[in-house]
Amino acid sequence: MALLRAQRAVLYRLSSGHRGLGSEPDRGGQDVPPRVFSGIQPTGIPHLGNYLGALQRWAQLQEEYGCVLYSIVDLHSLTVPQDPAVLREGVLDMAACLLACGIHPDTSCVFQQSQVREHVELGWILGCLTSMPRLRHLPQWKVSTEVKSQIQKNEGSVGLFTYPVLQAADILLYKATHVPVGEDQVQHLELTQDAARNFNSRYGHFFPIPSAITGSSKKIRSLRDPSVKMSKSDPQKLATVRLTDSPEEIVMKFRKAVTDFTSEVTYDPQGRPGVSNLVGIHSALTGLAPEDIVRQSRGLETAQYKLAVAEVVVEKLTPVREEIQRLRGDAGYLRGVLDRGAVKARELAAPVYDDVCRLVGLR
């Protein structure tokens, strides 16, 4: 394991032209070596859908790219009211979860967004180049306003309206060439691409146009309402399987999972979304095709199959849960990881932002 991590560290330091992570980034836009950026909010423990849809893939990307940055985007979490103490703990919780899911701080740059001031500074410049009608076209604004305004008891904050511009700055600040996204984030990446093109058309070719890395994992649905995605904010406690759930909690949640009155195990996402969601989870965890799972489950009633899926989930998540618990017992280590990651991130971000300032006339 130590040798493998050492090899990963070498790969991490080496990019095209043998540049290190802290070296001056390529100024040629399209000539930037492949570089991955993604972020996750520190609002609650990730759930099974996050793990299968994003975090597993993030760990894999470390093996495929020489420079990978994963940010805990605490600034984005401020679009809705946050308890300061809870937010601070949430940052450490998320750091522990990322590391427990296979993100290696000696391979990837793991850092806290707010520790790199250039994010908001570039966000202001890009915001001045982005029209309000362009932001209004984002469907996420309409959906988010309806949901989050109920929490805020108003029509939504300015931050809630403009946070996609900050997302664009998060990505472009590192001249990222690739961004892993889910289906519901594609239009935000399109805004980032538009922001890069807009900047380049005004000031000369500078930012690469980032490409989407789309996941192949199936969308994991709520265990209590398979018509919606599994969500950290779901008020139904039985709907969401979190990475820190005990085996007993996982079994209980799957036992209570909504299916239908047909006892046979089949895969029909439109006609039988509940049991099909269970088959999808089973498939994502084992790599088996849904058709093979259905064939192997012939003769099982759905009540029995629920327990079989729960067993697979427990087996997969138990090592992750135990590692999260171990890491959360060493807050100093987690803060050190984030501090070192912020230093590396700033080494990449500062020269890019300085060039932006010169191009727009601020230097």
Band of pLDDT at residue 216, cut at 50, 70 and 90? low
Question: In this structure, how many other beta carbons lie within 10 angstroms of the beta carbon of residue 69?
Answer: 25
Structure tokens at 12: 């991490």
* Amino acid 241: pLDDT: 98
From-to residues of CATH 3.40.50.620 in the chain: 2-219+330-360
What local confidence, expressed as pLDDT, does residue 160 receive?
84
Amino acid found at 292: D
Question: CATH number of the domain at 2-219+330-360, please?
Answer: 3.40.50.620
DSSP letter at 53 equals I
- List, for residues 314-354, the tens digit of each pLDDT value: 999 999 999 999 999 999 999 999 999 999 999 999 999 99
Q: What is the pLDDT of residue 178?
A: 97
**What pLDDT shows up at residue 218?**
66
Tell me: pLDDT of 3 over 50.
no
pLDDT of residue 199: 98
Strand order, beta sheet including 68-72 = 109-112, 68-72, 36-40, 178-181, 211-214
Q: What's the CA gap between 128 and 18, in Å, rounded? A: 36
CATH 1.10.240.10 domain range(s) in the chain: 237-323
Tell the residue number behind the tokens 């932001």, with chain if given.
Answer: 135
Q: Considering the domain 237-323, what is its CATH architecture?
A: Orthogonal Bundle (1.10)
Alpha carbon distance 284, 50 (integer Å): 12
What's the confidence (pLDDT) of residue 141? 56
> Given this model, what pLDDT does residue 5 score?
41
